[in-house]
Amino acid sequence: MKTGSANLPLHGGKCPAWLFSHMKSLCKAIIEVILEEGGPEEVLRRLSHPYWFQALGCVVGFDWHSSGITTTVCGALKEGLAELGPQAGLFITGGKGRTARRTPQEIIAHADRHGLSCKPEQLIYASRMAAKVDSAAVQDGYQIYHHCFVFTARGQWAVIQQGMNEELGQARRYHWLSDTMKSFTEEPQAAICCDYKANTLNLVSQLNQPLRELTPRLVRENPDHLLMEIKSIQDQSLILPSSHSIPRSSYLNKALYAAYEKHPHDFESLLEVSGVGAGTLRALCLVAEVAYGAEPSFADPVRYAFAHGGKDGYPFPVNEADIEQSYNTLERALRKARAGQREQLQALKRLARWHSTAVQVPASPIYHPSTRSIHQGKNRLWQPRLFDE
């Protein structure tokens, strides 16, 4: 399973209420089938895959290339699985804007109401670190505004979050999966999907390991010495790259003293310090580059199908009868399977396997292990596999 992010153009407008109602029902039916066949861990695995998540948005009738697919599909999953999810040990928290900031409170509420096999503090930490890494350690020009944290009663989790670049008119989506992540601070995403690439200060890249070692060492020194070093570099009138823009001195002073008091022992501990954001990390990288010769890498870490039409009528308008028939069929198959009659559910699985093998997946997107990127070719559509084994 390769996790990562997806780049999508910003689209305005709002999902019609009638369509969102159908999306909730179909999302619920699809996830219920996966829960029946593979359990909540399999749901996390699917959601963490940007291709599968994109296909899910297409299948339930949303636009294939709209930024709204992230917020709308996550909202449909959260509302559609509000009762079924906790019963199966699957919990969906967070959302867009203010709702994202309430993620810790939602995690605690689920823990109090349903009981978990892990401590809720561990899940809260994972949620916060995923958001901090993608907003401060991966400086790609996208401001995170959507954060969806999905977890199981056993403590496994997945993250779907999205950032916005208003200047480019683009949104970028980030996926995480706890089972495949070795560290919060070394390439926690196995790949990142995107059509648009730019210079990116990616401090969790393997190439930037020297910076991750030097920056916590720097903040353990007297902040006065560090501030003098930064001022000295600025006074030399060097032509610095835009990625090294330094925040105002009052903000930087406060952040450096806060980090010094915490005395972080490694880069993850430094990221955890409140107030240490993108600007503070850029300043530390500047000192590390000038004083220690640790030159940073600025490589952007980058890497989707319709079943029921699309919200904007492309490639054809959504047909309510068709989408309703789909989730009713899935629900009937589930009811029969639970009664011991699994023929219809097995038939759906065989159909999915036949479809995935009968339709050749195009050569693009291509995975490049050396760069950990996948580039999406134009006019190529990935065929969704809802029941793979």
CA 241 centroid distance within chain: 28
Query: What does the pLDDT read at residue 62?
Result: 57
* 203: Cα within 13 Å, side-chain hemisphere: 34
| 287 backbone dihedrals φ, ψ, rounded to 5° | -65, -45
The DSSP string of 143-204 is EEEEEEEEEETTS-EEEEEEEEETTTTEEEEEEEEGGG-S-TTS--SS-EE-S-----EETT
> What is the model's pTM?
0.73
Query: What does the pLDDT read at residue 92?
Result: 96
Task: Return the SS3 of 90.
Answer: strand
Query: What does the pLDDT read at residue 34?
Result: 87
Query: CA–CA separation, 382 vs 101, rounded Å?
Result: 33
Residue 14, C-beta contacts closer than 8 angstroms, at least 6 positions apart: none
Query: What does the pLDDT read at residue 29?
Result: 86
Query: What does the pLDDT read at residue 164?
Result: 86
Query: What does the pLDDT read at residue 169?
Result: 79
Query: What does the pLDDT read at residue 358?
Result: 41
Query: What does the pLDDT read at residue 339?
Result: 66
Query: What does the pLDDT read at residue 200?
Result: 84
Whether the CB-CB separation of 129 and 268 falls below 8 Å is answered with yes
| 281 backbone dihedrals φ, ψ, rounded to 5° | -65, -35
What is the overall mean pLDDT for the chain? 76
Q: Report domain extents, the chain.
A: 1-200+299-389, 206-292
Query: CA–CA separation, 352 vs 157, rounded Å?
Result: 26
Query: What does the pLDDT read at residue 347?
Result: 58
**Parts of the chain with a pLDDT under 50:** 1-3, 5, 64, 239-243, 302-308, 314-315, 351, 354-389
Query: What does the pLDDT read at residue 372?
Result: 34
